[in-house]
Chains A and B, each alone.
Chain A
Amino acid sequence: MDFDFQFDWSAAFASIPYLLPGIPWTLLISFGGLAFGFFIGIFFGLLRISPIRWLRWLAICYIEIFRGTPILVQVLFIFYGLPQLLGSPINALVAGIAAIAVNSGAYISEIVRGGVQSIERGQREASLSLGLSRTQAFRYVIWPQAFRRMIPPLGNQGIISIKDTSLFSVIGVGELVRQGQIYIATTFTALEVYFMVALMYLAITWTLSIILRQLESRGIAGQ
């Protein structure tokens, strides 16, 4: 077998200035979406363990719908579908952030539920026996411990959501993959450019992993 093709490092490096502008968009969609997703997740995660049955069902419906459908379909629905309903177009950035928010929110709901339910029953009983209200018991005793246990799975979800934003090239938002596609359209250097795109995702997710490891080790020190 004879390969003519060589990996052209100069082409790879040449693409960097064109790819870098995609990074802020990728970060903005990821972390913007995750910030909303976090609050959505807390909201539905707590509804999911509510003593009131119909609230639990509401949360289950939300989680099943947004965890059970592909995020690509969700963003296409929001960007192309919803405007027909609303009668006005939706900004691609807003659509991307919304898709990450509702999608990660469904997963984070389950993370929140698992975290809260993992706290031993005795913690709640001790709090109540001291006269704390149920709200105080949750706020000062249950939640701080649950949140610490939630950090690793939340970090996992963060990394997944960052990578999910690569799908949003289909709605034309100028994130990393989209920038790469535009550049390749004129240079035909797909190998080098997608390699660089992959490296840039790796740089983002790796940084996040390091930050999370720091957070975790600090969390354990306080136990």
Chain B
Amino acid sequence: MTDTMSPTVPPIVRMQKLNKHFGSLHVLNDIDLEIVPGEVVVVIGASGSGKSTLIRCINGLEEFQSGTLSVDGNTLKPDGKSSKALQTIRTEVGMVFQQFNLFPHLSVIDNITLAPMKVRGWSRSDAVATANRLLDRVGIADQADKYPSQLSGGQQQRVALARALAMEPRLMLFDEPTSALDPEMIGEVLDAMRELAKEGMTMVIVTHEMGFAREVADRIIFIHKGVIAEQGTPEQLFDTPQHERTQSFLARVLKH
């Protein structure tokens, strides 16, 4: 958590007037967002508010209909299919999904080495060395030869994190990474993410773990009906929320 808000650093993500529709539903409405390198941004909001869609736009899993989006200098156009910029962005941006999405037919080690070998062109030995180092880092070095179905949910999610990190991303996206986990496994995944934040990784996290958000976030963004209703430091947003929607949302999620 460095002082990343200094205006001299060029943003790694820049969204301007981004609009996204699902049919007649206006999912994202004139989103302006800049994220600087090293920043940890947590996106909160009710389900259906557009928070997942927002981060899925960043690596092109969702198309948008108007506005501009650039990631690390690569500009995505509205409704752009598989442009070269999109391909570059995806190699530079890692993502961890709610449902892990590990490849069930591949062992843990093959899950992690696939993209570095096929996309980055690494040798198998280099990719395996990196994979083992990452598995060690997320605390499951002894599971390399197992298949995803043989692991617990928390272990699977840590493999998914290692898999994304193996591509040496400049930015990591987390789409509700602990929402599908049993309560006793949430901690181990959050610990791994905490470590990553400490190392200075730029992270955009959609989560319902408010304690975690308060602890690791440099900035909290509250989304309501496709609009950034309010944003600020965790202290500002959690302790003195200005927007009425933020207050009622927090009252609902924090009371239990």
Chain A residues within CB distance 8 Å of chain B: 120, 122-123, 125-134, 136, 140-141, 144-145, 148, 222-223
Q: Main SS of the interface on chain A?
A: helix
List, in ascending order, chain A residues with CB within 8 A of B163's CB.
Answer: 130
Identify 12 new A-B residue pairs, CB closer than 8 A, beyond the known A130-B94, A130-B163.
Answer: A126-B102, A127-B103, A128-B61, A129-B173, A130-B164, A130-B167, A131-B90, A132-B114, A132-B119, A133-B82, A148-B105, A223-B105
List, in ascending order, chain B residues with CB within 8 A of A145's CB.
Answer: 103-105
Q: B118 near A126 (CB under 8 angstroms)? A: no
CB distance from A215 to the nearest CB of B (A): 14
Q: B104 near A131 (CB under 8 angstroms)? A: no
Q: A131 near B103 (CB under 8 angstroms)? A: no
Q: How many residues of B contact A (CB 8 A)?
A: 29
Pull 15 A–B residue pairs with CB atoms less than 8 Å apart, ordered by A.
A120-B101, A122-B99, A123-B103, A126-B95, A127-B103, A128-B61, A129-B90, A129-B93, A130-B114, A130-B115, A130-B163, A132-B114, A140-B118, A223-B147, A223-B149
**Contact partner of A134 among B82, B91, B93, B115, CB < 8 A?**
B82
Given A222-B147, A223-B147, decide whether A126 and B105 contact each other with a Cβ distance below 8 A. Answer: no
**Contact partner of B167 among A120, A131, A136, CB < 8 A?**
A131
Chain B residues within CB distance 8 Å of chain A: 59-61, 82, 87, 90-91, 93-95, 97, 99, 101-105, 114-115, 118-120, 147, 149, 160, 163-164, 167, 173
**Contact partner of A130 among B90, B99, B173, CB < 8 A?**
B90
List, in ascending order, chain A residues with CB within 8 A of B94's CB.
Answer: 129-130
Once bound together, how far apart are the Cα atoms of A223 and B167, in whole Å? 24
List, in ascending order, chain A residues with CB within 8 A of B118's CB.
Answer: 132, 136, 140
Once bound together, how far apart are the Cα atoms of A85 and B215, in whole Å? 79
Once bound together, how far apart are the Cα atoms of A144 and B147, in whole Å? 15
Once bound together, how far apart are the Cα atoms of A148 and B106, in whole Å? 13
List, in ascending order, chain B residues with CB within 8 A of A120's CB.
Answer: 99, 101
**Contact partner of A141 among B61, B103, B147, B149, CB < 8 A?**
B103
Q: B97 near A126 (CB under 8 angstroms)? A: yes
Q: A223 near B104 (CB under 8 angstroms)? A: yes
List, in ascending order, chain B residues with CB within 8 A of A127's CB.
Answer: 103, 115
Once bound together, how far apart are the Cα atoms of A112 and B159, in whole Å? 30
